[in-house]
Amino acid sequence: MLKIKSSAPAIPAQDIKRARNFYEQKLGLKPGEQQPDGGVMYQTGETGFLVFPSMGKASGDHTQMALEVEDVPGAVTELKSKGVKLEEYDYPEFKSREGLVDMPDGTKGAWFKDSEGNLIALAQRVPARTRSN
C-alpha cells in the first residue's frame, strides 16, 4: 500500500501570468512556493494545488478541481462581483439557477472557468444524516 502524505491537483495554464492574476485577484489566493518554470502552489485550507505553465489547452468540459466553501451562495455573489462568470447547467439530475445548483443529496454547488478554461467547482457539503435507533 502506498503511504501517501497528501495530494494536490495540478492545473495547466497556457499563460501563467494571466492564470496567477485570476487566482490571486479573482479568488484572493496568496501565492506560495514558486516553481523554477513559473508555476506556483496555492494553499487552500489544509490542502493546496499547483498552477503550472503548459502548452496544452484545458477542455473545460469536466471538473478539474473542487473547492469546498462554507457558503456557496455567498461565494457565488463574491465571484460575480469580481467579474467571474458562473456556468449554467440543465441536466436531469440538477439544474442551475443563476449559477447555483441544489443537488439531490442536499449539497450546494456552482461551477466556473478560470482564465485558462479549467472548470472549477464550488461545493458546500451537508452533514451526513445519522440514523436514529
Phi and psi at residue 24, to the nearest 5°:
-85, -40
Residue 27: name the closest of 5, 51, 63, 10 by CA: 51
pTM: 0.87
**Sheet with 108-113: strands ordered across:** 63-68, 119-124, 108-113, 101-102
At 101, list the grid cell.
445548483
Report yes or no: 62 and 8 within 8 Å, Cβ to Cβ. no
User: What residues does each domain of the chain span?
Assistant: 10-124
Residue 103's pLDDT is: 82
pLDDT digits (tens, 9 = 90+) for 29-82: 999 999 999 999 999 988 999 999 999 888 888 999 999 999 999 999 999 999
CATH class of 10-124: alpha beta
